């Protein structure tokens, strides 16, 4: 079994290409391993509750394969750099 890809240590920015990385039991698991482009970045105060700075970021994304905007916003922890193994 290979290493589990990790999210970037820095927030993503519009134009970044990333892969969706979700658990098989996640309700949006059909999007697992889909390559997407960041189109919007949002912040909130979840980091204050969890103590993890990157938890404040969520993203609106567009699929790279068909340019469709995905109807789900993803948290930072759900996205890994596109080149991550």
Write the pLDDT tens digit of every residue in 10-23.
999 999 999 999 99
Q: What is the mean pLDDT of residues 57-68?
A: 98
Length of the chain: 85
Quick one: average pLDDT of 51-66?
97
By CB neighbour count within 10 A (0-12 exposed, 13-18 middle, 19+ buried), where does 62 fall?
A: middle
pLDDT at 38: 99
Give every CB contact of residue 10 below 8 A, 6+ residues apart in sequence: none
DSSP 8-state class, residue 79: E
pLDDT at 3: 84
User: Which contacts (CB < 8 Å, 24+ apart) does range 26-31 have?
Assistant: 28/72, 31/70, 31/72
């Amino acid at each position: 079994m290979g290493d589990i890809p990790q999210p970037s240590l820095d927030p993503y920015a519009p134009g970044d290409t990333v892969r969706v990385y979700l658990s098989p039991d996640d309700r949006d698991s059909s999007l697992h391993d889909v390559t997407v482009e960041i189109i919007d970045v949002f912040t909130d105060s979840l980091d204050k509750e969890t103590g993890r700075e990157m938890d404040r970021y969520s993203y609106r994304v567009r699929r790279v394969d068909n340019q469709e905007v995905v109807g789900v916003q993803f948290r930072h922890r759900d996205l890994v750099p596109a080149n991550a193994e």
